[in-house]
Structure 1
Amino acid sequence: MGSIAFSLFSPKLYTKPRVDGGAQVTMMAYPAPSPAAAATKSNLGFKNLMESFTVDIHRAEGRQLNVPLIAPFTIATSRLEGVENVAVRVELNNGCVGWGEAPILPFVTAEDQITALKKAGEACEFLKKSQAMSLGDVLREIGQLLPGHDFASVRAGVEMAVIDAVATSIGTPLWRFFGGVSNTITTDITIPIVTPKEAGELASKYCREGFKTLKLKVGKDLNSDIEVLQAIRVAHPHCLFILDANEGYSSSEAIQVLEKLHEMNVTPILFEQPVHRDDWEGLGHVTQVAKSKFGVSVAADESCRSLADVKEIIKRQLADVVNIKLAKVGVLGALEIIDLAKASGLDLMIGGMVETRLAMGFAGHLAAGLGGFKFIDLDTPLLLSEDPVFEGYEVSGPTYKFTNARGHGSMAHRLTKERGLVSRLSE
């Protein structure tokens, strides 16, 4: 299994008869650990296992992950009709499987699906041919194969799959693996750019479902944005607002939106990425005015794509919050940024692109396990018209509860024709 060979976690083979009368299937079962063993493995955190756990990969592959959305998802810079991501599956020689996801969001992620599949395939081929090595070495090799922002989404997907397989090997849920601070998170939910009538209907729906915080996509048309905000205010008068402009405003337009909201007696709890990612001066100006005049925090999202970006944000006091997205910086990159942000007093937000429960579940485990995230934006699985993922976390309105299932507890499955759907994935 690795250099930390816990015999009590060693799998036993058993045979499961098929209900359709076909050939029997050999599966792996893990014995329940004793209380003492459970205490031992709960203390084996991610950083310790980086050098102490040996990873030996038997199979690895990337696959298309295509899922339609309930409705088109429109932001200031792009519009999606459905998810066209890449799932990554890694199987270790001990039989444990891990899953990851590389999300594709046009004009936000650098990769398209074709590129992501190609690069995931290259990384998987390398992993399959590599000798057993420490988890840290595996992740460092992945980082060299898929460097920088250009391949960050694919890098994140492969990292997720490897880490999930390792956590599964030692019988630990990811939220414990990353620190065990909590096993629950509460997310906001996003209203994309829609008409005021549609926004009001969505706000009413989310109010009934228990969502207290609505994240509103803005930035295409200032006057329309104000009308949408007014409609939501009527439909869900007690909700908390996050505004997300996705780089859509100039700094003067962003301040004008805050002034209009102030006249409506509305104060957002956060204003995310009000200006273009490279407009550092504008971002700093909006942050200063928003905080001093309106008491509103500003988050850097698209402007936060590397550790170097975060250092610049801290040095020049350009934002109050940084939005951590695994698809922007990878898992290891995210952990570096989180450590720096916490040490520097920046508030933390965790979000995603448009993802299934594979990537969203991993990010949720990370946020719950580490703790310290002031804003949680992990809602996009709720916007899918089909769910291509088995199991994972339990959902109750805005609350996600992570169980004690090993790893992130999710796996992709085949959407069969018997269910009236198109076949997209298989175990």
Structure 2
Amino acid sequence: MGPSALFGLQSPSLCFSSTITKFSTPAESLPSKKCKNPIANAVTACMAASPPVAPPSVCLGFKNLMETFTVDVYRAEGRPLNVPLMAPFTIASSRLDRVENVAIRVELSNGCVGWGEAPILPHVTSEDQLTALAKAAEACLFLKQSSGKTLGLVLDEISGILPGHSFASVRAGIEMALIDAVANSIGTPLWRLFGGFSNAITTDITIPIVSPTEAAELASKYRAQGFKTLKLKVGKNLTADIQVLQAIRTVHPDCSFILDANEGYKSEEAIHVLEKLHEMEVTPILFEQPVHRDDWKGLGYVSDVARNKYGVSVAADESCRSLGDVKKIAKENLAHVINIKLAKVGVLGALEIIDLARASGIDLMIGGMVETRLAMGFAGNLAAGLGCFKFIDLDTPLLLAEDPVIGGYEASGPIYNFSNARGHGGFLHWDNIA
């Protein structure tokens, strides 16, 4: 299915005021040429020629934009984006000591710039950094040769260059950057472009696989910062997992838990964890990917027992890497929640999956790999604009030792506010990451 047929999303509104907010970001974020805004100019001329009434309302929903906006890319490039972590990030399937992602910069001929990010997470994303850089270069070359095509057609052809799960992370980064550049062109923040439900979200925060003492220290810190939902990485050692849960419960007794096993348990082990928690009088609000991604029978079994015996919802994450996976999950009642990650399916793929999941009565979660505020800002705007996510897990920038992103959303503990005038508002000092 091509992009033009997508996005029958039941978002509150796809129409918004065409009033353009003054752009006042630091000089480093400005494009090399003046960012001309033809829509803003047309609206200004219309208002100047008319009596002083309310500004006209222009329907600029994403679907409409895909069909009407003509893309003309002046520059496009991908570069390594390497950032240290505050501490090693360990999950059941891998350990990460530093972020080694790929940043994407797209500049349109009107001077407007968009930014994206392709995250690299071993054993989860298919690409390594060298592969991602090579595929990004291929896609960027195509973008520079795509003058005169609609946004929808360009994105459709990008899906052909970077197909399926194998290149989903790079595809997501390219899509982010191009959509961000277009949003900048029309003077619209991304949360409005994606529906306008809200301009803020509240995220959980993740505690990786660590000792009970370290977990308690982190939980105490996060409690002081206002985080009410903790996502715990489990699945590597059943006994240690229970000890960590007990330690966290002691220092943050009122927190809500999400358990994320990252495929680490056998189905009977996952049920045993729920039994132990039940004895502790602890009910997680979500149990994410308890079994291996291909263990469909085990996923369905854990989901059935978790919901009917313990009142716990189960989310499919690694098991959901395509629209076909969602169809299987919905048809066979294998999970109660789908975790959307742009790096698994791309931006357009995510919107397709969201549409299908909502039509099937499956709840939604939005998460990420280990990304900077470039990718998290885009995903956060998407979540805020659509307003359809029951669980929000967009915390990974808080785990980084440095923040290379300038501008973008403002974080106050677990709350992200998207106050920028257009796009997602974040950018990099490009020459500093060469």
Q: Same fold (TM over 0.5)?
A: yes
**Number of positions where the alignment pairs a residue of Structure 1 with one of Structure 2:** 400
Matched, 1:40 2:49: no
Aligned positions of 1:63-74 closer than 5 A: 63-74=79-90
2:198 to 182, 188, 205: 182
Per-residue deviation at 1:131? 2.6
Q: Which residue in 2 is equivalent to 1:361?
A: 377
2:368 to 352, 355, 366: 352
Per-residue deviation at 1:127? 1.0
Matched, 1:120 2:129: no
Aligned positions of 1:234-249 closer than 5 A: 234-249=250-265
Aligned positions of 1:10-49 closer than 5 A: 27-28=34-35, 40-41=57-58, 43-49=59-65
Q: Which residue in 1 is equivalent to 2:227?
A: 211
Q: Which residue in 1 is equivalent to 2:332?
A: 316
Separation in 1, partners of 2:35, 2:391: 39
Separation in 1, partners of 2:363, 2:19: 40
Give the direction of change, closer, same or farther, for the CA distance of 1:210–1:39 in structure 2 (3 Å limit): farther
Aligned positions of 1:149-164 closer than 5 A: 149-164=165-180
Maintained 8 Å contact 1:388/1:414: no
SS at match of 1:153: helix
1:93 to 106, 109, 121: 109
Matched, 1:282 2:301: no
Q: Which residue in 2 is equivalent to 1:169?
A: 185
Per-residue deviation at 1:377? 0.1
Separation in 2, partners of 1:8, 1:260: 55
Give the direction of change, closer, same or farther, for the CA distance of 1:283–1:208 in structure 2 (3 Å limit): same
Q: Which residue in 1 is equivalent to 2:99?
A: 83
Maintained 8 Å contact 1:183/1:401: yes
Maintained 8 Å contact 2:263/2:291: yes
Per-residue deviation at 1:404? 3.9
Aligned positions of 1:398-413 closer than 5 A: 398-413=414-429
Separation in 1, partners of 2:386, 2:203: 16
Maintained 8 Å contact 1:76/1:247: yes
Q: Which residue in 1 is equivalent to 2:350?
A: 334
Separation in 2, partners of 1:235, 1:370: 35
Indicate the RMSD between aligned Cα atoms, in angstroms. Answer: 2.1
Alpha-carbon displacement from aligned partner over 1:63-98 (angstroms, at most 9, x marks no partner): 000000011100001111110000000000000000
Q: Which residue in 2 is equivalent to 1:53?
A: 69
Percent of residue pairs bearing the same amino acid type: 73
1:397 to 402, 413, 416: 413
Q: Which residue in 2 is equivalent to 1:325?
A: 341
Maintained 8 Å contact 2:146/2:154: no
Q: Which residue in 1 is equivalent to 2:433?
A: 424
Aligned positions of 1:380-391 closer than 5 A: 380-391=396-407
Maintained 8 Å contact 1:57/1:132: no
Separation in 1, partners of 2:118, 2:77: 12
Q: Which residue in 2 is equivalent to 1:303?
A: 319
Maintained 8 Å contact 1:172/1:404: no
Separation in 1, partners of 2:252, 2:271: 24
SS at match of 1:172: coil
- The runs of at least 4 consecutive aligned structure 1 residues that moved more than 4 Å come to 25-39
Per-residue deviation at 1:414? 5.3
SS at match of 2:264: coil
Maintained 8 Å contact 2:92/2:263: yes
Alpha-carbon displacement from aligned partner over 1:99-128 (angstroms, at most 9, x marks no partner): 000000000000000000000000001111
SS at match of 2:433: coil
Maintained 8 Å contact 1:321/1:349: yes
Give the direction of change, closer, same or farther, for the CA distance of 1:37–1:78 in structure 2 (3 Å limit): farther
Per-residue deviation at 1:413? 1.7
Per-residue deviation at 1:38? 6.3
Separation in 2, partners of 1:123, 1:38: 39
1:251 to 257, 262, 267: 267
Maintained 8 Å contact 2:136/2:170: yes
Letter in 2 for 1:156: A
TM-score by length of 2: 0.89
> Which blocks of at least 5 consecutive residues in structure 2 are unaligned?
1-17, 48-52
Separation in 2, partners of 1:47, 1:91: 22
Separation in 2, partners of 1:378, 1:297: 19
Letter in 1 for 2:433: R
Per-residue deviation at 1:374? 0.2
Q: Which residue in 2 is equivalent to 1:267?
A: 283
Give the direction of change, closer, same or farther, for the CA distance of 1:48–1:26 in structure 2 (3 Å limit): closer
> Which blocks of at least 5 consecutive residues in structure 1 are unaligned?
1-6, 19-24, 416-422
SS at match of 1:373: coil
Separation in 2, partners of 1:257, 1:342: 29
Q: Which residue in 2 is equivalent to 1:294?
A: 310
Per-residue deviation at 1:235? 1.0
Alpha-carbon displacement from aligned partner over 1:196-234 (angstroms, at most 9, x marks no partner): 000000000000000000000000000000000000000
TM-score by length of 1: 0.90
Separation in 2, partners of 1:120, 1:350: 24
Separation in 2, partners of 1:271, 1:182: 27
Q: Which residue in 1 is equivalent to 2:122?
A: 106
Give the direction of change, closer, same or farther, for the CA distance of 1:199–1:112 in structure 2 (3 Å limit): same
Give the direction of change, closer, same or farther, for the CA distance of 1:156–1:414 in structure 2 (3 Å limit): closer
